[in-house]
Each structure stands twice: as structure tokens, then as C-alpha cells.
Structure 1
């Protein structure tokens, strides 16, 4: 099961003032990944299918970082996730989380998720990423005080167990990294991570061209144990 982190779901629904009517959602065109694979915004009509997929097996819950994607996955959590996506997209005017669909229209059932959220280095306890400009003419070495912080994103994804083994997730991740991360969201560097024992998820990132960097061990409350997390990066 190829899964990695997604934006945490919460049972705290946005207030009604933050939950916009469908007509106020800023239209965002679907991205065509392949002949029959599209990335498009989540809509309120995705709630039932999202709930169904996350209750097929516990594979997605086991593969994700976030503790809020549980198994079983309550309907109220699916409703909260969709409400959060609608409110965030309306307030910000762009999407950084998309439903994977087998069809261009928003009525096509969701089969997975791809996200490219901004990466918060401080919150994650990870040193900021920098780009060091070339030395000025006539000087040797680089000016350490002149290094520039990179705008970083973090990759997240999951796919319904009904569609694994078809290369869909690899295609979606590759497309997101090459066609969306830089041009649409302005990222220069993208982080990705998966539990080391989630071999399928690690292979997705490797096939999409990400390179592995040293792993990180962390205590995971929902598992009650320390797990090793494989870390990947890509300059985009």
C-alpha cells in the first residue's frame, strides 16, 4: 500500500462562516496526469466515497503519519476533512491538496489523494533548507551570511486498495512534482517521507525521482513504538 502523510483531519469542523457555499469556491482546473487519471479539488460530494475507501482495510491508516486517520474512520472525520479543504481553498484561492480521479469531471469518484503542502521546518524540528549563491567575482568561497532559504513543500499521498499495483500513484506523484510543485506553488525543494517498512510508498518516491537522505527515528503514539522514517528530497 503506497501511502504517506496527508494533512491531518480533525473532528473540529470549521464554523459555518468559514464553510463556503459551492458557488463561492474558486474554480481550479483539473490536472490531467494520464489518459484517465486526473487531479482535481475535493468537493462535498466526495465525503461518502472518502469514508468508504478509508474503511476498506487498515492499510492507509497504518501507512500515514497523522494520528487522525484511524481505522475504522468515522464519517464525521470524513465530513471534517472535506469541510477543511473547502474552507481552506476558498480562503486562500488555490489548492494544495487534490483528489485523484479516474475521470476529468468532479463527479468522477475519488480513488486517492495527492497533497503538496508548505513544509514547516520549525514545526517538524528540521533545519531550514538553504541555497548558497555562487561566490562574488574575485572572491573565493561563498558568503555564509548570504545563503538564501528555500521555499519547501512536503509531499503526501494515499491510494485506495482497489487501485494499487497499477502505477497510478507513481504517475500522480511524478506529475505533481514536475508539473505543479514549482509552477503552481512556487516550491524549490520538496520533502517526502514514509515508514521504512512501507516499501511500496518508498518505491513510489524513488520511481518519481526523489533521492533518499538519512532516515529519522521517532516515537509514534498511534503505534506505541519507535519507527524509522525514510526521508526523501527533490529539487524542483
Structure 2
């Protein structure tokens, strides 16, 4: 889905990530360790192979789902990448069965969002604008999600502020989980946006990475 115009002042757009974004993605993610330190999955140094693999997975999601769920943030419709935004739908199994609406018993559509912004563009409120757009316009409106969540390290205040400014509220204050890339446990928190207040008692269960 998209491309999207998030804002015209400041100019901010979301469009599909492409393999042509690889060089800029690698450059941005090697400026410093902010994204590495704030994320459970990104590596540092960030290699061309990392970017190619991630964009390949994004394209595979399009093939599987029939819709795009990964976007490059850009300051012009066709300009270079300045950040990343994505949406993942929760997956369920015998251990984590799909939640249902407490009144209608209809299976719930639940997604989790993620985002990062180049350190060259922080301090302008761009990530907050994208977070709000992801939650309200893409997840709830375009993709018909009942619940939208964002998980952050407890210590990652910039990421948490994006979730709060997107209209999400704290669902879980603290949970210690294993971060495979580090081989250690870290405290995370979870924010959520519920389209129907009746689902507010339904909590995220699977925090595995």
C-alpha cells in the first residue's frame, strides 16, 4: 500500500523500500549505534548483506500478503531513504492462539509497528508523525486492525515518546526478555492502540525475537 503523504510541512512521505535503497540504508545505519542500541534486531556494523536480506523479506511479505507492510521514510516522494517504518501482523499457534473479541467472539486482527529514523533527521518530530500515521491511517483504517502495538526497550525514551505521540497507551510497563543478538535479557515495555475499548483487557503474550 502507498505511497503515502504523511505531511507536507515538513515534507514527509512513505513509499515501498527498494533494493536501490540499500547503499543509503547501510550509510544511515552506520552513522552511529543509535538504532543498534535501540533495537532488538539491527546489527552494527550494518552490512550490505543485512540490508539486502531485510529488503528481500519486505518484498516477500508483499508476495505473501498481497499488500505492502514496509516503507522507507523520505523527504520527497522519490528522494533517498531517511528512515524506515514497518507493520507486522501477529502470528498464532497452539502456544499463542489468536485472541477473539470478548463480546462478538470474532478473531482479532492485531499488528505491531516498528520504526527508525536517521540521526541526521532527529529532533524534528518526524518519527512521531510517522508513528501516528502508521497507527491511525495505515493499521486501523487501511488494514482494519483491531489492536496496534509497539514494543520498546524501557530505557529507549525516544522510541517510547513516538508511541505515546501516536496515541498509544502503556499496556505493559516492564518485562525482561532475551535479546538474541546480545545474548542477554533486557527490559521492554509495550504500548497499544485499541479500536474498540472492549479489547483493552487483551494483552500481548508473545515477546520472543
TM-score (norm 1): 0.75
> Residue 128 of structure 1: CA displacement?
4.5
> Residue 226 of structure 1: CA displacement?
1.9
Task: Verify the 8 A CA contact 2:167 2:193 in the aligned structure 1.
Answer: yes
In structure 2, the CA distance between the partners of 1:121 and 1:64, relative to structure 1 (3 Å rule), is: farther
- With a CA cutoff of 8 Å and minimum separation of 6, indicate the structure with the bigger relative contact order: 1
Question: Is 1:219 aligned with 2:192?
Answer: no
> Residue 207 of structure 1: CA displacement?
1.2
In structure 2, the CA distance between the partners of 1:81 and 1:217, relative to structure 1 (3 Å rule), is: same
Task: Verify the 8 A CA contact 2:61 2:69 in the aligned structure 1.
Answer: no
Task: Verify the 8 A CA contact 2:36 2:44 in the aligned structure 1.
Answer: yes
SS of the residue aligned with 1:148?
Answer: coil
Counterpart CA distance in 1 for 2:109 and 2:175 is 22
Counterpart CA distance in 2 for 1:231 and 1:194 is 6
Aligned to 1:78: 51
In structure 2, the CA distance between the partners of 1:130 and 1:92, relative to structure 1 (3 Å rule), is: closer
Task: Verify the 8 A CA contact 2:140 2:148 in the aligned structure 1.
Answer: no
| Structure 2 stretches lacking a partner, 5+ long | 196-209
Counterpart CA distance in 2 for 1:153 and 1:92 is 13
> Residue 119 of structure 1: CA displacement?
1.5
TM-score (norm 2): 0.84
Question: Is 1:229 aligned with 2:202?
Answer: no
Q: 1:38 aligns with which of 6, 9, 13?
A: 13
Aligned to 1:179: 137
> Residue 225 of structure 1: CA displacement?
2.5
Counterpart CA distance in 2 for 1:190 and 1:29 is 19
Aligned to 1:155: 113
Aligned to 1:195: 153
Counterpart CA distance in 1 for 2:96 and 2:121 is 34
Q: CA RMSD in A?
A: 1.9
| Structure 1 stretches lacking a partner, 5+ long | 1-27, 134-145
